[in-house]
């Protein structure tokens, strides 16, 4: 990869002042979790400091995402039931969504963008649960953030991305390709750079950075393959759009990495659809959170 | 055939579809008559719905989709699938699912317009 | 033991959400220590779960291994493993660390199933902390699952005041429980594997059992077949008994020559029927694996010559010469079953004789392919066999073609039996043939012992100069045979084919000691030879030996009258020729014989078959006995009440009360000295054993003949012996065996079937053999060669016993016992005793007048 492309990506991230630092809540939660002395109440307290976040986390925990058989009323109980890391990841995800409130609506509808991102995240989470991963919420976050680089572009290279989108639609060129032509780098690279800057876990960064080319994910091939396949699925089902008009092309080896039987796919997608509808509803009901 | 909530399951009912757990593992096979033990197992394993024989023992027709709707949905999914290999098992499964869901959504929308 | 220490302040800090007091800055060191110890404990328990639980870990053993660590990690006051049941639908407690809390835990499980939390936690691969049913405590649920299956559920109740699991403890707990699940799954897989193996071995066992069952069934079928055959043989023998019996009685009446011939034909036909039945019985025994082989050391040359001698007369009727050639390098002493080998050879030689019209039947014994084998070829100059039928002839019921059966008769079982016997003995039997030129049947046998020490050729190496001899015969096989035997004693032997050749050599042989002349089939043509030789310059001390046709004793006598010094019947027996050449006197004088009867014994015959009854009565009366007949055992008992008998002839199978039962009854009723002789139609040895076991004294196989009956009676009627007064003279000096007869005449008669002719032959043969035996014994004593001594004494014992020479047999037995053990003490005394007994016997035989009861 040329230094030009990388520096172009760094440039975009630097320009995005609002995203120069990761969501505060993530940092706080990471601090708390990293401290072995931290108790469950500490985590609850960090979230509870943000009323909107608290409400959103509780809504998520009580949503179809978890299909809890009972209602959880407090963050402490949510942490107890859903798990510390899981709550951290949910809180982070919802915070990130709210960080991008001022995306220009004329390029891509924010609700369509988040729709697609949430769809991808939910599918990734369902796949992870199906495969018995111990923290499926990590996959939810990875799916949610996979196209975050394009948000950065839309905010700080609006003209270039507009040309890229237009060319991709007109000429049927792959959007990622057009991005490189018009913006100077693609959204996956920008997204990876952002997560790296935020000190997010390497698994997240790699999954986002290589979600269009999972062969290059040498440390976290499963996470990357999951996001790659989930992106394809959400696109094929028409669950929102982050700008693409066609689904990305499947890399068969990524599917093989997951070892999932295609026969269970309809059932998983039915599950995912219920959860996706629930969280999309939740975000739309509460756009300012 | 009738789909009922698992809580409504009673001994003596006959399953018209196998009961799978949430990971897809078979719990109770199709055609089995539900026992007390099964009722308890449905709760233990968190099963939401089961399919049982209707009172008349008939099997309900699947949702009747008109060919036009299916055709529309297929065209849309074909477009979305773009350059993907239509032969790949995942793409085949995904395509079929997307067409079904798309057609059902179209159908629901048309019904709503009437 | 792994211990996880609790931070020192854990119990004193009341903060519910800080159970370990980790926010207390003073606890830093303790916390570090807690982590280190916890890590150690987790690592150690995981390792143990992976390695230490044996091949098939179960819930309980896994729980026992992991429980203490889990308890400390989560500060539980009670914890348990739940296990899914057989069909994976329900959960129950498989292991709990405080059995007193079982009900409490069960209540929690039920509550959380009802509440849905249980199901929820089933799909979460982590700890779920929920309130207890009474909402006063916290419960931790953690599924026990691997990616492929749900195995169970961990449930733990947090200690009082504890509301959650610290993240580190949570992760450690997950780690341990995942290890537990993996261990459990490997146990399940192992059990499935071993179940699979077990099923497999069960299947194998079942199949094996099926096989065994069918084998048993087959065995039972084969046994049933044998029994069927035995019964058939009974059914057939009984009427044959009648035929031969009546025919022999008929033969005793005045008949013209043609009628006599016809009666003879009847008897011969019946005899051949019996031999066919014997064949079939024998074959069925081989088939059923009922043949038991003996393993004894014997002289193969003797056996071969016996067979040749036995069948030579039959061949001689067709002027077919029977000869034996024994390769000097072939083993003589072999270990095996002489009876069975003789049976096979008899069959082969009899076949050869049967199918040969001209020429010879030659039995050649050769060294086998390897040193521990020997092979016997039976060569004929008969009709031969087509190559494509060569193997077929060994099939049962097969002969070269069906026309053969019509022409030559026989069951076609002989060769099949022979081959099977040969194989049973570790040998092989096969044939080579050229149609029209003859066949050779080869019997290859193991010698049964390591070789090299028993060849007879050793004597040829003696320093003694052998005599000079000439053998004259137009036939190669006879010239070769004589030269072979002569070489054994180091003779300077040469062979000529014709009389003129012999005469031509005489002038150049001034020291000629022997002339052996084959007189061919026309002994009369040789009557002038002695005179011619004398005229031709035969040295006066030269001995003339005539080789006469088999059984041509009369010719021998006549030749002797015309100047021959000796005669021997063909085929030439090695031992007889050797004893002649080695300067031992030949034929003892034969006394004339007279005849006698068994005597006026009272005999009771119990027999259900009327014909057999009639035959027995007639034969016994003919022998001079008083006879009563009854039809069954009840008749026997009734008859004994009114009259005494000297002997009972008892049929074994009779309706009402059979022979066995009757005998048992008689024996238990006090008739324990009354001789009872079984009459059996079946040739199965088991019947004989059963007869003896029931208390009978002897056994007489049907069909009975005059000879067999006479011999049997002679064995058991003391009156007969007393009446005929043939007790041997008592030896002058008392020595072991003095209480025995020198010659047990009754025994001898029994063994020879009462035939004076046979008595004559066997005693004659014995006395011919004796000088050579004596010479061997003396040599053995001189050389202290106990191996030879033991073997000669053994042979002597056998041949003496064969002619009823009880004293000599005893002396030989005593000597053998010493010599076998290598005991050289009193070897001379033993030898002297043997020689003394032999002379006693010789004297007795010379003075005994044999009478032929049939004439």
Name the most confidently modeled range: C2-16, C79-93, C590-604. Answer: C79-93
pLDDT higher for C253 or C299? C299
Residue C451 has what pLDDT? 53
Binning pLDDT at 50, 70 and 90, where does residue A155 land? Answer: confident
Rounded Cα–Cα distance for residues C31 and C104 (Å): 33
Chains that touch A (3 or more CB pairs under 8 A): B, C
Q: Indicate the DSSP class of residue C579.
A: H
Residue with tokens 């995904």: B94
Q: Indicate the DSSP class of residue C447.
A: -
Sign of CA dihedral B60, B66, B71, B77: negative
Asked if residues A93 and A108 have their Cβ atoms less than 8 Å apart, the reply is: no
Please tell me if residue C602 touches chain A, with a CB cutoff of 8 Å: no
Q: What are the DSSP calls for C734-778, one per residue?
A: --TTTTS-SS-HHHHHHHHTT-HHHHHHHHHHHHHHHHHHHHHHH
Residue in B25, B80, B103 to test binding to A, most A beta-carbons within 10 Å? B80
Among candidates A69, A249, A269 on the partner chain, residue whose Cβ is nearest the Cβ of B84: A249
Q: Which helix (H) or strand (E) holds C142?
A: strand C138-146
For the record, the structure tokens of C450 come out as: 């390591």
Name the most confidently modeled range: A209-213, B107-111, C231-235. Answer: A209-213
**Environment class of residue C358 by beta-carbon count within 10 Å: exposed (0-12), middle (13-18) or buried (19+)?**
exposed
Nearest C-alpha neighbor of C292 from the set C429, C421, C418, C413: C421
Yes or no, beta carbons of C167 and A41 under 8 Å apart:
no
Rounded Cα–Cα distance for residues A100 and C132 (Å): 42
Of all residues in chain A, what percent carry a pLDDT higher than 70? 93
Residue in B5, B28, B32, B45 to test binding to C, most C beta-carbons within 10 Å? B45
Contact list in B for residue C91 (CB cut-off 8 A) is 44
Mean pLDDT of A94-112: 79
Asked if residues C151 and C25 have their Cβ atoms less than 8 Å apart, the reply is: no
Yes or no, beta carbons of C89 and B27 under 8 Å apart:
yes
Of all residues in chain C, what percent carry a pLDDT higher than 70? 83
Range in B8-12, C162-166, C219-223, C632-636 the model is least confident about: C219-223
CA C487 to each of CA C469, C484, C778: distance values in angstroms, whole numbers, following the listed order: 10, 5, 22
Taking the whole predicted model, whether its pTM rises above 0.80 is answered as: no
Please tell me if residue B62 touches chain A, with a CB cutoff of 8 Å: no
Range in A215-224, A235-244, C794-803 the model is least confident about: C794-803
What angle (nearest 5°) sits at the alpha carbon of residue C215, between those of residues C293 and C276?
A: 50
Asked if residues B99 and B79 have their Cβ atoms less than 8 Å apart, the reply is: no
Work out the mean pLDDT of chain C and round it to a whole number: 79
At C126-139, the pLDDT tens digits run: 888 888 888 889 99
Rounded Cα–Cα distance for residues C255 and C278 (Å): 32
pLDDT at C752 over 80: no
Residue C585 has what pLDDT? 41
Yes or no, beta carbons of A134 and C126 under 8 Å apart:
yes
Binning pLDDT at 50, 70 and 90, where does residue C519 land? Answer: very high
Strand C373-380, strand C438-446: pairing: antiparallel
Contact list in A for residue B79 (CB cut-off 8 A) is 246
Yes or no, beta carbons of A134 and C17 under 8 Å apart:
no
Phi, psi dihedrals of residue C486, rounded to the nearest 5°? -60, -35
Residue with tokens 């002969």: C399
The CB-side HSE value for C700 (13 A sphere, CA atoms) comes to 29
Residue C853 has what pLDDT? 45
pLDDT at C586 over 50: no
Nearest C-alpha neighbor of C322 from the set C521, C545, C477: C477
Contact list in A for residue B62 (CB cut-off 8 A) is none
Radius of gyration of chain B (CA): 18
- Which strands sit side by side in the sheet containing C76-84, from one edge to the other? C91-96, C76-84, C149-158, C138-146, C128-131
For the record, the structure tokens of C245 come out as: 């019996």
Please tell me if residue B72 touches chain A, with a CB cutoff of 8 Å: no
Q: What are the DSSP calls for C369-400, one per residue?
A: SSTTEEEEEEEE-SS---GGGTTGGGSTT--S
Residue C589 has what pLDDT? 32
Yes or no, beta carbons of B37 and C89 under 8 Å apart:
yes
Please tell me if residue A265 touches chain B, with a CB cutoff of 8 Å: yes
Contact list in C for residue B47 (CB cut-off 8 A) is 119
Asked if residues C137 and C160 have their Cβ atoms less than 8 Å apart, the reply is: yes
Please tell me if residue A99 touches chain C, with a CB cutoff of 8 Å: no
Range in A243-257, B100-114, C24-38 the model is least confident about: C24-38
For the record, the structure tokens of C227 come out as: 């029994």
Is C693 strand, coil or helix?
A: helix
Mean pLDDT of C208-215: 84
pLDDT at C223 over 60: yes
pLDDT higher for C853 or A218? A218
Q: Indicate the DSSP class of residue B6.
A: G
Asked if residues B54 and B11 have their Cβ atoms less than 8 Å apart, the reply is: no
Residue C243 has what pLDDT? 80
Rounded Cα–Cα distance for residues C194 and C685 (Å): 52
Range in A109-118, C92-101, C107-116, C484-493 the model is least confident about: C484-493
Mean pLDDT of A247-263: 91
Q: Indicate the DSSP class of residue B33.
A: B
Asked if residues A270 and A233 have their Cβ atoms less than 8 Å apart, the reply is: no
Q: SS3 sequence, C493-547? A: EEEECCHHHHHHHHHHCCCEEEEEEECCCCHHHHCCHHHHHHHCCCCCCCEEEEE
Mean pLDDT of B58-76: 73
Among candidates C91, C123, C149 on the partner chain, residue whose Cβ is nearest the Cβ of B44: C91
Range in C133-137, C372-376, C705-709 the model is least confident about: C705-709
Among candidates A41, A84, A135 on the partner chain, residue whose Cβ is nearest the Cβ of C167: A84
Yes or no, beta carbons of C163 and A40 under 8 Å apart:
yes
Yes or no, beta carbons of A36 and C166 under 8 Å apart:
yes
pLDDT at C5 over 80: no
Radius of gyration of chain A (CA): 18
Q: Which residues contact C74 (CB under 8 A, 6 or more apart)?
A: C140, C156, C158, C165, C169, C173
Q: Indicate the DSSP class of residue C159.
A: P
The beta strand positions in C589-707, using DSSP E, are 602-606, 626-630, 647-651, 676-680, 698-701
Chains that touch C (3 or more CB pairs under 8 A): A, B
Among candidates A249, A265, A273 on the partner chain, residue whose Cβ is nearest the Cβ of B94: A265
Is B4 strand, coil or helix?
A: strand
pLDDT higher for C691 or A224? A224
pLDDT higher for B23 or C378? C378
At C65-78, the pLDDT tens digits run: 888 888 888 889 99
Contact list in A for residue C146 (CB cut-off 8 A) is 132
The beta strand positions in C248-332, using DSSP E, are 296-299, 321-326
Radius of gyration of chain C (CA): 47
Binning pLDDT at 50, 70 and 90, where does residue C734 land? Answer: very low
Chains that touch B (3 or more CB pairs under 8 A): A, C
Rounded Cα–Cα distance for residues C853 and C662 (Å): 33
Q: How far is A47 from chain B (nearest CA, A)?
A: 30
Residue C460 has what pLDDT? 42
Residue C417 has what pLDDT? 84
Yes or no, beta carbons of B45 and C119 under 8 Å apart:
yes
CA dihedral C584, C590, C596, C598 (to 10 degrees): 10
Residue in B97, B103, B105 to test binding to A, most A beta-carbons within 10 Å? B97
Range in C9-23, C147-161, C435-449 the model is least confident about: C9-23
For C737-763, b/e burial (b = at least 16 CB within 10 A) is beebbbbbbbbbbbbbbbbbeebbebb
At A217-229, the pLDDT tens digits run: 989 999 999 999 9
Yes or no, beta carbons of A69 and C117 under 8 Å apart:
yes
Residue C412 has what pLDDT? 63
Asked if residues C654 and C607 have their Cβ atoms less than 8 Å apart, the reply is: yes
pLDDT at B106 over 90: no
Reported residue count of chain A is 289
Please tell me if residue C33 touches chain A, with a CB cutoff of 8 Å: no
Yes or no, beta carbons of A80 and C22 under 8 Å apart:
no
Contact list in A for residue C169 (CB cut-off 8 A) is none
Q: Which residues contact A88 (CB under 8 A, 6 or more apart)?
A: A26, A29, A30, A33, A43
Phi, psi dihedrals of residue C131, rounded to the nearest 5°? -70, 150
Is C698 strand, coil or helix?
A: strand
Residue C397 has what pLDDT? 56
Question: What is the count of residue pairs from A and B with beta carbons less than 8 Å apart?
Answer: 66
Residue in B28, B46, B48 to test binding to C, most C beta-carbons within 10 Å? B46
Residue C406 has what pLDDT? 43
pLDDT at C583 over 70: no
Strand C128-131, strand C91-96: pairing: unpaired
Rounded Cα–Cα distance for residues C101 and C770 (Å): 104
Yes or no, beta carbons of C122 and B27 under 8 Å apart:
no
Nearest C-alpha neighbor of C418 from the set C439, C384, C440, C394: C394
Yes or no, beta carbons of C120 and B27 under 8 Å apart:
no
Mean pLDDT of C638-655: 86
Using an 8 Å CB-CB cutoff, list residues of chain C that contact chain B.
88-91, 113-114, 116, 118-120, 122-123, 149-150
Rounded Cα–Cα distance for residues B103 and A238 (Å): 12
pLDDT at B45 over 50: yes
Rounded Cα–Cα distance for residues A165 and A161 (Å): 6
With CA atoms as reference, the chain B residue closest to C88 would be B27
CA dihedral A159, A160, A161, A162 (to 10 degrees): 50
Please tell me if residue C18 touches chain A, with a CB cutoff of 8 Å: yes
pLDDT at C140 over 90: yes
Yes or no, beta carbons of B44 and C119 under 8 Å apart:
yes
Please tell me if residue A260 touches chain C, with a CB cutoff of 8 Å: no
Residue C102 has what pLDDT? 92
Residue with tokens 């000879």: C707
Yes or no, beta carbons of B97 and A265 under 8 Å apart:
yes
Name the most confidently modeled range: A167-176, A202-211, C640-649. Answer: A202-211
Asked if residues C241 and C612 have their Cβ atoms less than 8 Å apart, the reply is: yes
Contact list in B for residue A246 (CB cut-off 8 A) is 79-83
Contact list in A for residue B90 (CB cut-off 8 A) is 229, 250, 255, 262, 265
Yes or no, beta carbons of B97 and A246 under 8 Å apart:
no
Mean pLDDT of A26-37: 76
Is C4 strand, coil or helix?
A: coil
**Environment class of residue C522 by beta-carbon count within 10 Å: exposed (0-12), middle (13-18) or buried (19+)?**
exposed
Rounded Cα–Cα distance for residues B11 and B34 (Å): 5
Binning pLDDT at 50, 70 and 90, where does residue C51 land? Answer: low
With CA atoms as reference, the chain B residue closest to C115 would be B43
């Amino acid at each position: 990869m040329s230094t030009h492309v990388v520096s172009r990506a760094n440039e975009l991230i630097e320009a995005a002042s609002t995203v120069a630092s990761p969501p505060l809540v993530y940092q706080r939660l990471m601090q708390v979790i990293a401290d072995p002395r931290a108790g469950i109440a500490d985590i609850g307290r960090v979230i509870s400091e943000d009323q909107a976040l608290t409400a959103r986390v509780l809504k998520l925990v009580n949503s179809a995402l978890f299909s809890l058989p009972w209602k959880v009323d407090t963050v402490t109980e949510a942490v107890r039931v859903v798990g510390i890391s899981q709550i951290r990841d949910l809180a982070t995800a919802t915070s990130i969504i709210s960080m991008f409130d001022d995306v220009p609506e004329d390029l891509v509808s924010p609700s369509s963008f988040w729709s697609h991102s949430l769809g991808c995240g939910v599918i990734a989470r369902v796949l992870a649960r199906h495969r018995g991963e111990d923290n499926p919420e990590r996959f939810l976050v990875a799916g949610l953030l996979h196209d975050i680089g394009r948000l950065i572009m839309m905010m700080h290279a609006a003209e270039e991305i507009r040309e890229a989108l237009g060319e991709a639609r007109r000429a049927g060129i792959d959007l990622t390709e057009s991005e490189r032509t018009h913006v100077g780098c693609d959204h996956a690279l920008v997204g990876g750079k952002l997560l790296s800057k935020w000190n997010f876990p390497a698994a997240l960064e790699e999954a986002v950075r290589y979600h269009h080319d999972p062969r290059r994910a040498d440390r976290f091939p499963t996470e990357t393959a999951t996001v790659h396949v989930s992106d394809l699925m959400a696109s094929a089902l028409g669950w929102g759009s982050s700008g693409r008009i066609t689904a990305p092309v499947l890399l068969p080896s990524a599917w093989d990495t997951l070892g999932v039987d295609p026969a269970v796919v309809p059932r998983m997608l039915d599950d995912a659809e219920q959860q996706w509808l629930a969280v999309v509803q939740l975000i739309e009901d509460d756009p300012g959170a | 055939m009738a789909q009922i909530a698992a809580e409504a399951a009673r001994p003596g009912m006959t399953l018209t579809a196998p009961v799978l757990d949430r990971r897809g593992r078979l719990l109770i096979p199709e055609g089995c008559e539900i026992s007390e033990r099964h009722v308890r197992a449905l709760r233990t394993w968190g099963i939401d719905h089961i399919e049982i024989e209707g009172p008349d023992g008939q099997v309900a027709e699947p949702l009747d989709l008109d060919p036009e709707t299916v055709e529309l949905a297929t065209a849309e999914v074909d477009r979305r699938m773009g350059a993907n290999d239509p032969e790949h098992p995942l793409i085949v499964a995904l395509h079929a699912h997307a067409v079904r869901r798309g057609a059902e959504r179209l159908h629901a929308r048309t019904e709503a317009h009437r | 033991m792994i211990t996880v220490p609790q931070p020192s302040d854990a119990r004193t800090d009341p903060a519910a959400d800080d159970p370990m007091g980790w926010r207390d800055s003073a606890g830093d060191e303790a916390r570090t220590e807690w982590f280190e110890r916890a890590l150690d404990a987790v690592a150690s328990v995981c390792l143990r779960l992976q390695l230490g639980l044996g091949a098939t870990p179960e819930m309980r053993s896994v729980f026992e291994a992991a429980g203490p660590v889990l308890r400390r990690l989560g500060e539980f006051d009670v914890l348990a493993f739940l296990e899914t049941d057989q069909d994976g639908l329900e959960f129950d407690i498989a292991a709990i660390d405080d059995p007193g809390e079982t009900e409490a835990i069960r209540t929690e499980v039920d509550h959380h199933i009802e509440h849905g939390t249980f199901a929820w936690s089933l799909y979460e691969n982590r700890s779920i902390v929920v309130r207890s049913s009474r909402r006063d405590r916290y419960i931790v649920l953690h599924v026990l699952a691997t990616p492929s299956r749900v195995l169970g559920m961990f449930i733990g109740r947090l200690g009082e005041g504890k509301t959650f699991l610290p993240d580190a403890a949570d992760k450690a707990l997950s780690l341990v429980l995942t290890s537990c699940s993996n261990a459990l799954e490997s146990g399940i897989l192992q059990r499935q594997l071993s179940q699979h193996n077990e099923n497999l071995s069960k299947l194998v066992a079942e199949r094996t059992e099926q096989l065994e069952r069918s084998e048993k069934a087959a065995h039972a079928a084969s046994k049933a077949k044998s029994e069927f055959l035995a019964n058939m043989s009974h059914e057939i023998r009984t009427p044959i008994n009648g035929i031969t019996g009546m025919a022999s009685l008929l033969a005793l009446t005045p008949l013209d020559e043609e009628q006599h011939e016809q009666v003879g034909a009847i008897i011969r036909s019946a005899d051949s029927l019996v031999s066919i039945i014997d064949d079939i019985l024998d074959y069925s025994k081989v088939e059923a694996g009922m043949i038991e082989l003996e393993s004894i050391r014997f002289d193969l040359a003797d056996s071969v010559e016996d067979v040749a001698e036995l069948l030579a007369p039959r061949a001689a009727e067709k002027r077919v010469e029977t000869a034996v050639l024994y390769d000097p390098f072939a083993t003589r002493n072999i270990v095996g079953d002489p009876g069975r080998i003789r049976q096979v050879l008899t069959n082969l030689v009899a076949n050869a004789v049967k199918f040969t019209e001209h020429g010879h039947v030659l039995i050649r014994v050769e060294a086998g392919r390897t040193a521990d084998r020997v092979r016997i070829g039976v060569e004929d100059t008969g009709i031969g066999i087509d190559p494509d039928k060569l193997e077929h002839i060994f099939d049962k019921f097969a002969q070269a073609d069906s026309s053969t059966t019509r022409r030559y008769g026989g069951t076609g079982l002989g060769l099949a039996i022979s081959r099977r016997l040969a194989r049973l003995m570790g040998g092989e039997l096969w044939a080579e043939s050229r149609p029209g030129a003859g066949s050779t049947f080869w019997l290859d046998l193991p010698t049964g012992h390591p070789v090299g020490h028993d060849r007879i050729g050793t004597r040829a190496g003696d320093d003694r100069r052998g005599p000079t001899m000439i053998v004259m015969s137009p036939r190669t096989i006879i010239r070769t045979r004589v030269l072979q035997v002569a070489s054994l004693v180091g003779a300077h032997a040469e062979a000529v084919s014709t009389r003129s050749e012999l005469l031509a050599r005489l002038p150049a042989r001034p020291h000629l000691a022997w002339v052996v002349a084959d007189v061919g089939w026309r002994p009369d043509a040789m009557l002038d030879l002695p005179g011619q030789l004398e005229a031709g310059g035969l040295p006066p001390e030269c001995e003339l030996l005539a080789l006469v046709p088999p059984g041509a004793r009369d010719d021998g006598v006549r030749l002797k009258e015309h100047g021959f010094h000796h005669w021997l019947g063909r085929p030439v027996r090695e031992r007889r020729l050797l004893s002649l050449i080695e300067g031992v006197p030949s034929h003892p004088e034969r006394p004339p014989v007279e005849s006698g009867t068994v005597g006026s014994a009272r005999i009771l015959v119990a027999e259900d078959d009327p014909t057999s009854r009639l035959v027995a009565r007639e034969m016994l009366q003919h022998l001079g006995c008083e006879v009563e007949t009854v039809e069954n055992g009840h008749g026997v008992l009734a008859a004994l009440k009114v009259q005494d008998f000297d002997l009972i002839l008892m049929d074994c199978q009779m309706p009402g009360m059979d022979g066995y039962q009757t005998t048992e009854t008689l024996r238990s009723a006090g008739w324990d000295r009354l001789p009872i002789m079984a009459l059996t139609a079946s040739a199965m040895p088991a019947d004989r054993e059963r007869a003896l076991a029931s208390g009978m004294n002897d056994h007489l196989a049907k069909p009975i003949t005059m000879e067999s009956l006479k011999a049997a009676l002679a064995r058991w009627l003391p009156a007969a012996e007393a009446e005929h007064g043939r007790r041997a003279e008592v030896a002058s000096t008392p020595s072991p065996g003095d209480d025995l007869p020198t010659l047990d005449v009754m025994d001898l008669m029994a063994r020879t079937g009462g035939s004076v002719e046979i008595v004559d032959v066997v005693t004659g043969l014995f006395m011919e053999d004796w000088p050579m035996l004596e010479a061997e014994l003396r040599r053995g004593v001189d050389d202290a060669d106990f191996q030879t001594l033991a073997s000669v004494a053994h042979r002597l014992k056998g041949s003496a016993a064969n002619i009823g020479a009880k004293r000599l047999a005893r002396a030989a037995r005593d000597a053998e016992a010493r010599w076998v053990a290598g005991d050289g003490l009193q070897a001379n005394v033993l030898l002297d005793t043997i020689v003394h007994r032999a002379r006693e016997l010789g004297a007795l035989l010379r003075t005994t007048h044999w009478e032929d009861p049939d004439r």
